[in-house]
């Protein structure tokens, strides 16, 4: 995928469950002229979908972007009940329990899946979907319109773990575990897909010292970031993580802006949709001979496996500091 810096801005639609790191990724995209955010769609995950929708609108309010529509999506996964909010990670309100003004507007009248379809039909071949939560809305859009993947520029998603353990279980990463059936369907779509999984996001750390510099940046986006990041950092420290945060959702934006900072492998991927300990694990097939059976007919996914972490963290902080 060519860097977004070449030519016209790359048009992206972010599907999100804000969420502290979702907020950072949205701010990052909005501060990057190489990208045009055509809309946000919301999904259950870090919080209930209604909370995520209100937070998405609040984030755009703070960024001064009333022009960007927000369409609410799925409240639960395809094939199981919602596992419940990750309030111990993102706070009960999804944004570190920071008190914020109410959202300034109502969501878009269309639901997320139909909004995605409308946007893609209006600009065939132009839209890159950037899902950074459970993949339920994307799966619903593809179930409604099986031809939709062929009309996408591609998908750059935060989720999965190819060659490293999970974070929501020993087997699985949180976005995938929140809807394995949806993830398996989306990862089998016939369009260019890039998987920004724990292989690189847990190798990308924004340190406490770097987080401390954000409060000096003096713009509304940075002010919110400075308010919500400490809670998220404390979760990492309390659970054996780094003295800082793992940069999950922003990795999709860094990849779109600067793919040269990543090492990749290309393999078809299946998701364990069983009901045992492996549920939600993303399985690349690394041996051609094993590309038959459950992986047969699946297009190879671009899997990020290496990262120049200092470079991408510096890029994100530079963009966050923009007025
Ligand atoms: O595993 C990390 C992912 O789960 C991120 O998208 C975070 O926001 C949560 O949704
Ligand atoms: Ca997320």
17 a catalytic residue: yes
Per-residue pLDDT of 6-33, as tens digits, reads 689 999 999 999 999 999 999 999 999 9
- CA–CA gap between residue 256 and residue 9 (Å, rounded): 11
Does ligand 1 come within 6 angstroms of the Cβ of 202? no
Structure tokens at 300: 């190879």
Q: Quick one: pLDDT at residue 289?
A: 60
248 a catalytic residue: yes
Q: Quick one: pLDDT at residue 286?
A: 81
Polymer length of the chain = 323
CATH code, 10-320:
3.90.245.10
Does ligand 1 come within 6 angstroms of the Cβ of 158? yes
Per-residue pLDDT of 84-109, as tens digits, reads 999 999 999 999 999 999 999 999 99
Ligand nearest to the CA of 20: 1
Q: Is the dihedral of CA 158, 159, 163, 168 positive or negative?
A: positive
Domain ranges of the chain: 10-320
Q: Residue 4: pLDDT band by 50, 70, 90 thresholds?
A: low
Does ligand 1 come within 6 angstroms of the Cβ of 45? yes
pTM beyond cutoff 0.75 = yes
Per-residue pLDDT of 196-237, as tens digits, reads 999 999 999 999 999 999 999 999 999 999 999 999 999 999
Q: Which of 132, 136, 165, 236 has most ligand 1 atoms within 8 Å of its beta carbon, as the pocket-test mutant?
A: 132
Using the atom order of ligand 1, give the atom closest to the CA of residue 90.
Answer: 8
- Ligand 1 centroid to 104 CA: how many Å? 25
Q: Quick one: pLDDT at residue 264?
A: 98
Determine what percent of the chain is predicted with pLDDT higher than 70.
Answer: 97
Region class of 183: left (phi > 0), else alpha (psi between -120 and 50), else beta: alpha
Q: Quick one: pLDDT at residue 287?
A: 74
pLDDT of 180 strictly over 70: yes
3-state secondary structure of 7: coil
Using the atom order of ligand 1, give the atom closest to the CA of residue 86.
Answer: 9
Q: List the one residue out of 196, 192, 316 whose CA is nearest residue 252.
A: 196
Partners of 284 in the beta sheet? 269
Does ligand 1 come within 6 angstroms of the Cβ of 272? no
3-state secondary structure of 36: strand
pLDDT of 51 strictly over 80: yes
Average pLDDT of the chain?
96
Ligand nearest to the CA of 176: 1
Q: Quick one: pLDDT at residue 291?
A: 58
Query: β-strands 269-271, 282-284: how paired?
Result: antiparallel
Per-residue pLDDT of 265-299, as tens digits, reads 999 999 999 999 999 999 999 876 655 689 998 99
């Amino acid at each position: 995928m060519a860097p977004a810096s070449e030519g016209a801005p790359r048009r992206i639609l972010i599907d999100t469950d804000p969420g502290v790191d979702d907020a950072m990724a949205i701010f990052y995209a909005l501060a990057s002229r190489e990208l045009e955010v055509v809309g946000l769609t919301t999904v259950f995950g870090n919080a209930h979908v209604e909370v995520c929708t209100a937070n998405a609108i609040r984030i755009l309010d703070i960024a001064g972007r009333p022009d960007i529509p927000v369409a609410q999506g799925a409240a639960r996964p395809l094939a199981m009940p919602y596992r419940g909010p990750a309030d111990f990670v993102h706070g009960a309100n999804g944004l570190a329990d920071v008190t914020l003004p109410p959202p300034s507007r109502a969501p878009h009248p269309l639901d997320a899946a139909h909004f995605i379809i409308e946007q893609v039909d209006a600009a065939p071949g132009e839209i890159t979907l950037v899902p950074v939560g459970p993949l339920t809305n994307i799966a619903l859009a593809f179930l409604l319109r099986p031809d939709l993947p062929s009309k996408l520029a591609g998908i750059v998603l935060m989720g999965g773990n190819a060659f490293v353990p999970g974070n929501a279980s020993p087997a699985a990463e949180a976005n995938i575990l929140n809807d394995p059936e949806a993830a398996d369907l989306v990862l089998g779509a016939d369009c260019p897909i890039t998987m920004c999984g724990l292989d690189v996001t847990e190798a990308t750390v924004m340190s406490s010292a770097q987080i401390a510099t954000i409060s000096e940046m003096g713009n509304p986006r940075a002010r919110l970031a400075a308010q919500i990041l400490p809670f998220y950092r404390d979760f990492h420290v309390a659970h054996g993580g780094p003295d800082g945060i793992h940069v999950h959702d922003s990795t999709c934006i860094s990849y779109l802006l600067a793919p040269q900072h990543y090492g990749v492998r290309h393999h078809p991927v299946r998701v364990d949709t069983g009901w045992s300990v492996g549920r939600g694990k993303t399985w690349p097939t690394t041996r051609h001979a094993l590309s038959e059976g459950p992986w047969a007919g699946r297009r190879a996914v671009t899997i990020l496996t290496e990262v120049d972490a200092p470079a991408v963290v510096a890029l994100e902080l530079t963009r966050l500091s923009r007025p």
